[in-house]
Amino acid sequence: MLDLTRKALGASEALLFALFNQAPISILILDPSGQATDANDSFRNARRIETNESLARLNVLRDTSCIRSGFTHLVEPAFRGRICKEYECSYICTETDPPDAVYNLTAFPVMESGSLQSVVVLEENVTARFNAEKKALHLSIFDPLTGLPNRQHLLDRIADRLAYMERYSAHDALLLVNIDRFKIINDARGNLAGDNLIMQSGRRLRNALREIDFIGRTAADEFAILLPLEGDTPEKNGLKILSAAERLRQTLLKPFLIDGENLPVTASIGITFFPEESATATGNRDTPHYALARASTALHRAKDAGGNQCAFFERGMGMNAKERFTVERELSEENAEDGFLLYLQPQVSRNGTVVGAECLIRWQHPVRGLLAPGSFIPIAEDSDLIVKIGEWVLRKACIAMTQIKDTQNNFRISVNISPRHFMKPGFKDWIIALFSEHSLHPSRIMLEITEGLFLSNTEVAIRKMNELVDLGFVFSIDDFGTGYSSLAYLKKLPLRELKIDKSFVQDAPDEPNDAALVESIIAVAQNLGLEIVAEGVETEQQADFLASRGDMLYQGYFFGKPVPAADLLSNLATQP
């Protein structure tokens, strides 16, 4: 068999030569002393060696970095006379054309009667495949938009850190940074603006961190940051981490330049440490998913408290994630509305007459009792559940108004409108149909909006407002002063009324700054011809302060807490 092959080869020496030289793979042949004896065209071309160049030149190649690593690991064993199988490796070669090409290297000994004849080195250019794999790997662990590690990468990193922590005592902090109201920005300004904001935020955060800190993007508007803690226990490190988190939050406060406009943004941060002490104490290992869930729970807490702040995960808070989920599920149920209750809080004039009321929803929960809106409205606002709630309240408000409009001709009712509900396509047609169904003039119900509505797509929001105002609808700006906007922007909005936020009202009598602010809000409102409602009036002193500053309506516990709608309406009937 061997002889036959030899004969066939002998008969086609020219073919063998052609095969050697034209093979699309580089071939280098070395003698047992390690001297290169031959190299084919592919090999020479890759290194720009003229065909007639001496073998001595090739010997030099053996020592170049290009194949040195390959020699050590795979060619040398072949020289040692061992019966070598194929050894393979990929390496990056800077001396070849193109530079930085990646080769697959195979070396094998050619044995003759038990002794080494030569060593053959095969080199295959696998750059394209290598780059494709590298790109695929990069895509699988990096976020294409920001170039930052993605969620999987983060989880892997936490897993690595946890494995390290099993052997060495160490702690890390995990921070989840989430841009407040990003969905609104994205929905209203468009995905490109949203992407732009994310890219800029990622860059700002990365620049604010040290080299050893890890930052990745874990969701559309969310970044995760790992901060290794030095020495101290997590408790002692708490303050340090809080100030680091605060610093990161501040870096996002400077307005972002997007589409030529300054976009002010706030962010919330949830913080946890790992490994979790209780997990390690009970012998249970902390896990990357559990760490992320804790940070996420803390983040939701920061959001529920109004956003624009940092919150630590605390034991027992684990309930909140579950609760959130439960609330969402329960609100989505068909008959959730059966538990909704309409409460009304009186709005009074200077002489104490109840002239109007604000609708405030309550939820009579089958297990948890009567719930204030703070425990479900923010959750509902994350999805279209808020539309269902908003529609329910407006419908009830219309019914209440039809009941009293004949006896209390000037009575006013206000309803809170969530930005998400307002911006929904079809809101305008829906609300027009609702009012006509109840034969109500649009001005009978004051629509309370917040500055949040203008944070995202100012133009569209104002246009929608104007369309409704043209039809007779009336708007009030709620919680005024807590947002981002200047007093100046009020001019652009077709408003009927302004509500001074309770935080200013409550501190105004004692805090000169708040007093000055309330005074300037009142002055601007008067200038623009807006009616004023002061919210959260709790004391006589506050009422007096306001009364001495201008004409307005008052709303607050001092005059009346929110009560079931039926109670307020029946009291009205008896009001002189």
Q: How far is the CB of 358 from Ca ion (least distance, A)?
A: 6
CA–CA gap between residue 465 and residue 493 (Å, rounded): 8
Q: How far is the CB of 479 from ligand C2E (least distance, A)?
A: 5
Q: Are 107 and 122 in contact (CB under 8 A)?
A: yes
194 binds, among ligand C2E, Ca ion, none (CB under 5 to 8 A by kind): none
Q: At what angle do helices 191-207 and 182-189 cross, to 10 degrees?
A: 140
478 sits near ligand C2E (criterion: CB under 6 A): yes
- Binding-residue pattern over the window 1 to 20 for ligand C2E, x denoting contact by CB under 6 A: --------------------
For the four alpha carbons of 446, 450, 451 and 453, in that order, the dihedral sign comes to: negative
345 sits near ligand C2E (criterion: CB under 6 A): yes
Q: Are 244 and 284 in contact (CB under 8 A)?
A: no
| Chain residues 494-553 in contact with Ca ion, contact rule CB under 5 A | 535
Number of shown-chain residues binding ligand C2E (CB under 6 A): 22
CA–CA gap between residue 272 and residue 234 (Å, rounded): 9
The answer to whether the peptide bond before residue 275 is cis (omega within 30 degrees of 0) is: yes
Closer of 143 and 479 to Ca ion (Cβ): 479
Q: How far is the CB of 510 from ligand C2E (least distance, A)?
A: 16
372 sits near ligand C2E (criterion: CB under 6 A): yes
Contacts of 286 (CB under 8 A, 6+ apart): 162, 274, 275, 276, 279, 280
416 sits near ligand C2E (criterion: CB under 6 A): yes
536 sits near ligand C2E (criterion: CB under 6 A): yes
361 sits near ligand C2E (criterion: CB under 6 A): yes
416 sits near Ca ion (criterion: CB under 5 A): yes
399 sits near ligand C2E (criterion: CB under 6 A): no
Q: Which two tokens stand for residue 8?
A: 């066939």
359 sits near ligand C2E (criterion: CB under 6 A): yes
360 binds, among Ca ion, ligand C2E, none (CB under 5 to 8 A by kind): ligand C2E
Question: Among 214-222, 225-233, 367-375, 490-498, which window interacts with ligand C2E (CB under 6 A)?
Answer: 367-375
Position with the least CB separation from ligand C2E: 556
Closer of 47 and 502 to ligand C2E (Cβ): 502
- Tell me whether residue 538 is exposed, middle or buried, using C-beta atoms within 10 angstroms of its C-beta: 0 to 12, 13 to 18, 19 or more: middle
| Chain residues 487-526 in contact with ligand C2E, contact rule CB under 6 A | 502
Q: Which two tokens stand for residue 421?
A: 């509900």
For residue 487, which of 526, 431, 447 has the smallest C-alpha distance?
A: 526
Q: Are 562 and 360 in contact (CB under 8 A)?
A: yes
**Binding residue for ligand C2E, selected from 106, 237, 268, 418, defined by CB under 6 A:** 418
Total residues belonging to the chain: 576
**Binding residue for ligand C2E, selected from 344, 357, 393, 530, defined by CB under 6 A:** 393
- Binding-residue pattern over the window 421 to 460 for ligand C2E, x denoting contact by CB under 6 A: ----------------------------------------
538 sits near ligand C2E (criterion: CB under 6 A): yes
164 sits near ligand C2E (criterion: CB under 6 A): no
For the four alpha carbons of 219, 223, 228 and 233, in that order, the dihedral sign comes to: negative
Cβ of 284: how many Cβ atoms within 10 Å? 12
Closer of 194 and 560 to ligand C2E (Cβ): 560
325 sits near ligand C2E (criterion: CB under 6 A): no
327 sits near ligand C2E (criterion: CB under 6 A): no
Q: At what angle do helices 385-404 and 427-437 cross, to 10 degrees?
A: 30
Closer of 172 and 501 to ligand C2E (Cβ): 501
Q: Are 15 and 104 in contact (CB under 8 A)?
A: no
CA–CA gap between residue 327 and residue 305 (Å, rounded): 17
- Write 112-117 long-range contacts (CB < 8 A, 24+): 115/81, 116/32, 116/78, 116/79, 116/81, 117/32
361 binds, among Ca ion, ligand C2E, none (CB under 5 to 8 A by kind): ligand C2E
What are the residues binding ligand C2E (CB under 6 A)? 345, 359-361, 372-374, 377, 390, 393, 416, 418, 478-479, 502, 536-538, 555-557, 562
What are the residues binding Ca ion (CB under 5 A)? 416, 448, 478-479, 535
